[in-house]
Amino acid sequence: RMSGRGKKHAVAGKPGAALKKTKSAKAGLQFPVGRVYRLLKRGNHADRISPGAAIYLTAVLEYLSAEILELAGNAARENKKARILPRHIQLAVRNDDELNKLFFCVTIAQGGVIPNILSQLLPKKTVRDAAPSQD
């Protein structure tokens, strides 16, 4: 039997009872608000945690993930790949100014480096290369 992700929350003893709505569904999010709330409470970050703070943080995490996934998917498509690799995530993050600033101190495993050759190291252009002869 293949089990789906997520919980149904049906009320026992009542066939056709309304399913309980999760915090994520109420907030219109895909990421788990309840789990983020639990982790915030367990993390000893503060004495009290507002449920609104968990919803806000979950929305931020979901937005950042979607942004990175979209850019990484574009990078994978440019490289003619069907699967997003760590290299594509690296290219996506480093080529975006705001994400690069956010993840400045983050090392992405198996990400490689951004291609960059200093102009001083490139071969000098000669007169023959600059103006090809027309026959």
* 40 neighbors 49 (Cβ within 8 angstroms): yes
Torsion of CA 6, 28, 23, 60, to 10 degrees: 100
CATH code that applies to domain 23-113: 1.10.20.10
Q: 3-47: per-residue pLDDT in tens? A: 566 666 655 566 666 789 999 999 999 999 999 999 999 999 999
pTM to 2 decimals? 0.76
User: How far does Cα 129 stand from its chain's mean position?
Assistant: 44
Neighbours of 72 (CB within 10 A): 20
Please, which pLDDT band fits residue 126 given cuts at 50, 70 and 90? confident
Q: 85-100: per-residue pLDDT in tens? A: 999 999 999 999 999 9
Domain spans of the chain, in order of start: 23-113
User: Length of the chain, please?
Assistant: 135
Question: Looking at residue 7, what is its pLDDT?
Answer: 65
Burial of residue 105 (number of CB atoms within 10 Å: 0-12, 13-18, 19+): exposed
Tell me the three state secondary structure of residue 5. coil
What are 102's two structure tokens? 């956010």
Please, which pLDDT band fits residue 51 given cuts at 50, 70 and 90? very high
Mean pLDDT of all residues belonging to the chain: 89
